[in-house]
Amino acid sequence: MSTPTSKLPDRLLGKVVADPDVAASHAVDASSTASEPSLPGDFTVVRARDLGDVVAVLEHAQATRTPVVPQGARTSRVGGAMATEGAIVLNVEALAGEPQIDAVEGYAVVGPGVVNADLKRAAEANGLFYGPDPASWETCTIGGNVATNAGGLCCVKYGVTADWVKALQVVLPGGEVMTTGHRTAKGVTGYDLTGLFVGSEGTLGVVTEVVVRLQPAPDPALTALAVFTSLDDAVAGILALRRDRHRPCLLEIMDRSSIRAVQAFGDYGFPDDAEAVLLVQADRPDHVADDVTRYAELLTAAGASEVAVADDPGESEVLLEGRRVMSTAFEALGARIAEDICVPVGRLAEFMRGALEVADRRRVTIPVSGHAGDGNLHPSIVYDRDDPDSQARAWQAFDDLVRLGLDLDGTISGEHGIGSLKAPWLGLELGTAELDRQRRLKGVFDPLGIMNPGVVFPGSSA
C-alpha cells in the first residue's frame, strides 16, 4: 500500500525527504554490492528528529497498514535496511544527542543514532570502555548495532552487543512506547525482553533509547602480526591463543586470497608465500607487553614463519593497517557477496579448506578473513556483475558455504544478521517448528506484520 505524503500526520511533513536522489540513497544499504538493487517504485523516507516523530510514524503505519523499515546508517550487509514497495523508511540517525554517562552505576544512556565510535570516545573521556567494535564503527549507529546484535574485532574478549545492553526504549507498531530491562546492576523481573529485541533487525519495533553497560578502560592495546606458510599451523596458533589464561582482545585471520587482495591494493609487507596472517592484541591493564610477547611466542611455536610485535600503540596501528583496508581492497575486486558464517573455533581449518573447494567448484574467487578467535569468518564471494553465469555461480557458492557452516555445527550468521538476503536460508538452520514459533512471537509485538516485512522471515509481507 502506498503512503502519499499528504496523508502523513502534519508533524511529519517537514521530515519527509523530498529530493528523489537523497531518497534513493536511503533506499539501499551496504548489501547492495551483493545484488543489483532495484529500487521500489513507491516508498517514503521520513527522517525522525525525536521520539514524537517515531511514535507518529508507527501510529500512522498501524492505522494504514503501511510497512515500516527502521533505518540507521545503512551499513547492513544483509539487506536489512532497504526500502520496500509502499514502505515508510524511518531513519533515526538524528536521534543522537550526547551519551549520558553515569560513571558510578557504569552505564550510558544513548540515542539510537549515536555512532558507535562516538559512544566509545565518550566513554573513554570518562575513563570507561564500551566494548563492541564492528569494523564499520566510524559509521554504524548504536540503534543498528542493537537491532543486529553487532559483533566486531574485540568480541573474542568482550562479547557482542547483547552482552552490553542493559535496557531499551522501543516504539511498537501503533505508537506505544515500551521499556525493557534494568539500569540497576542486577535485575530478573519477568522475561528478558531486552534480549529479544537485541538482534530483532527492526522486525518488532523501533529502538529509540539504549542503556549500555560501561566498564573500566583497559590499557592501550599492543599488536602482534604472524605470517604462516601453512593454514593448519595458523589454526593451531589460534587454538593455542584460545587456551591461554588471558584472552587476547583481538584475534583476526586473513587467508591467502585476502592477503593478495590487500597487497594488490597497497604494499602492506605481506610475503608472497603467506598462506595466512594472524593479528592478535593484548590490552590487560599493566600486563600488555608481557601478554603480547607470550602470544607471539605461542604463534612462533605453532609454526609462524615471521612474527612482528608492536612496541607502542602507534606501531600497533601500523600492523593493523592491512586488516583495516581489507574491505576497501575487496571492493576493487568487483561485485561481491559478503558472507558471515560462524563455526566452532576447532573447526575453522575444515571451514577454510571447504571454502577453497567451493571457490574451485563454482569458479569464483573467495577471500576468507574475519574474527578467527570467535570462529566467525567472512568469505567474500567475488563475481562479475556483467556476467549472469558468474552471478549464478556466486549464489551457488553462497548456498554451499551456508550448508558447509551448518554441517560443521556452525550458524549461518555470526553477526551481520539475516536481513532480506539470508531470509530464504533461515529455515535451514531453525527448522519448520522453530521458524513458526518465531513468527508467532513476532505477531505478539507486530500483529499486522508491518515491521520490516521480508527481513528475517522469508516472504512475510504487511
Cβ-based nearer residue to ligand FAD, 71 or 460: 71
Q: How far is residue 109's CA from residue 18's CA, in Å, rounded to a whole number?
A: 32
According to CB under 6 A, which residues from 209 to 248 bind ligand FAD? Answer: none
Query: Whose CA is closest to 221, among 129, 356, 327?
Result: 129
153, 135 in Cβ contact below 8 A? yes
Q: How far is CA 456 from CA 203, 233, 254, 382, in A?
A: 8, 37, 29, 24
The reply to whether 72 sits near ligand FAD by the rule CB under 6 A is yes
According to CB under 6 A, which residues from 78 to 137 bind ligand FAD? Answer: 80-81, 92, 112, 134-136
Q: Which of 27, 119, 207, 282 binds ligand FAD (CB under 6 A)?
A: 207
| Least Cβ distance, residue 445 to ligand FAD (angstroms) | 12
State the sign of the Cα–Cα–Cα–Cα dihedral 224, 226, 232, 237: negative
Ramachandran angles phi, psi of 221, nearest 5°: -80, 150
Interface with ligand FAD (CB under 6 A), residue total: 37
Q: Locate all alpha helices (DSSP H) within 27-67, ordered by sequence.
A: 51-64
Give the distance from CA 203 to its chain's centroid: 16
The reply to whether 150 sits near ligand FAD by the rule CB under 6 A is yes
What share of residues in the chain are helix, strand, coil (percent, to 5)?
40, 20, 40
Q: Which of 151, 173, 367, 454 binds ligand FAD (CB under 6 A)?
A: 151
In the numeric block, the cell 587454538 is attached to: 239
| Least Cβ distance, residue 240 to ligand FAD (angstroms) | 24
Cβ-based nearer residue to ligand FAD, 160 or 292: 160
Give the range of 146-154, 384-392, 403-411, 438-446 binding ligand FAD by CB under 6 A.
Answer: 146-154
Give the distance from CA 235 to its chain's centroid: 24
Chain length of the chain: 462
Q: Enter the DSSP assignment of 369.
A: E
Question: Cα 323–328–329 angle (5° rounding)?
Answer: 75
Q: Enter the DSSP assignment of 221.
A: P
251, 280 in Cβ contact below 8 A? yes
Q: Which of 84, 110, 181, 201 binds ligand FAD (CB under 6 A)?
A: 201
The reply to whether 12 sits near ligand FAD by the rule CB under 6 A is no
| Least Cβ distance, residue 422 to ligand FAD (angstroms) | 12
Cβ-based nearer residue to ligand FAD, 194 or 236: 194
Cell, residue 277 = 596472517
| Least Cβ distance, residue 417 to ligand FAD (angstroms) | 6
What mask, x for binding ligand FAD by CB under 6 A, covers residues 397 to 416? ------------------xx
CB neighbours of 72 closer than 8 A, spacing ≥ 6?
Answer: 81, 91, 92, 93, 112, 113, 140, 141, 143, 144, 147
Q: Which of 34, 48, 147, 241 binds ligand FAD (CB under 6 A)?
A: 147
Taking CB atoms, the residue at the shortest distance from ligand FAD is 144
Cβ-based nearer residue to ligand FAD, 94 or 289: 94
Cβ-based nearer residue to ligand FAD, 232 or 429: 429
Cβ-based nearer residue to ligand FAD, 154 or 319: 154
Cβ-based nearer residue to ligand FAD, 135 or 234: 135
Query: For binding to ligand FAD (CB under 6 A), which residues are involved?
Result: 29-30, 69-77, 80-81, 92, 112, 134-136, 140-141, 143-145, 147-148, 150-152, 201-202, 206-207, 327, 415-416, 452, 455
